Amino acid sequence: MKLLILNGPNLNMLGIREPEIYGKQSYRDLEDYIRTEAKGLGCEVEIRQSNHEGDLVDWIQQAYGKFDGIVINPAAYTHTSVAILDALKAVRLPAVEVHLSDIDTREPFRRISYAGLACRKTFQGHGFAGYRMAMEFLISAVR
C-alpha cells in the first residue's frame, strides 16, 4: 500500500501562519507525524508540498499507476481549483481530502471544496490527526 500525501500552498508555513487556527507545530512536525503514523499503519508514504497549483496537478497525474491512493490537503486551492478536481477525476485513484481546520465553520468562501467532489471522504478540523484518519480510511477502502 503506497499513498501519496499532497499539501498545498502555505502549509510549509505551519507553526508561523495563524497559529490560533493551524496550531504551533511546524510543517516538518507534520511530515514527521505522517511518517510515524504511516509506519504504524504499515503503509508507504511519499509526502509533497507545493505553493503552485500546477505542481499539484502534475503530481496527481504522475501518481497514476504508481500509488494506491492520494491524501490531499489542497489548502487555498481547495476553494478555487477546478484543475486539481479534474486531475483527481482523471487518475481515478481513491482520494481523501484533509483540512487541519474546520472549513465549514470559517469564512463562507471556504465552504466550497472543488477537490472534495472527487474525494471519497473529507476529514476536517482534527488537526494533524486528520491525516492519520485519511490514511486509515484509504487502507480499509482499498483492501
Per-residue cell: 76: 487555498
Question: Is 79 within 8 Å of 112 (Cβ atoms)?
Answer: yes
Instruction: Rank residues 68 and 75 by Cβ distance to ligand DQA and give the closer one.
Output: 75
CA 44 to chain centroid:
15
Total residues contacting ligand DQA by CB under 6 A comes to 10
Of 10, 26, 51, 80, the one binding ligand DQA by CB under 6 A: 10
- Residue burial 33-64, b: 16+ Cβ < 10 Å; e: rest: bbeebbeeeebebebebbbebeebbebbeebe
Check binding of 78 to ligand DQA (CB under 6 A).
yes
Active site residue 22: yes
Alpha helices in the chain (DSSP H): 19-22, 27-41, 53-63, 82-91, 129-142
Contacting ligand DQA within 91-130 (CB under 6 A): 99-101, 103, 110
Instruction: Rank residues 20 and 143 by Cβ distance to ligand DQA and give the closer one.
Output: 20
Minimum gap (Å) between residue 123 Cβ and ligand DQA = 10
Instruction: Rank residues 81 and 87 by Cβ distance to ligand DQA and give the closer one.
Output: 81
DSSP label at 68?
S
Going across the sheet that includes 121-124, the strands are 44-49, 2-7, 69-73, 95-99, 121-124
Exactly one of 27, 99, 114, 131 is catalytic; name it. Answer: 99
Instruction: Rank residues 3 and 78 by Cβ distance to ligand DQA and give the closer one.
Output: 78
Interface residues with ligand DQA (CB under 6 A) are: 10, 73, 75-76, 78, 99-101, 103, 110
Residues labelled as active-site residues: 22, 99
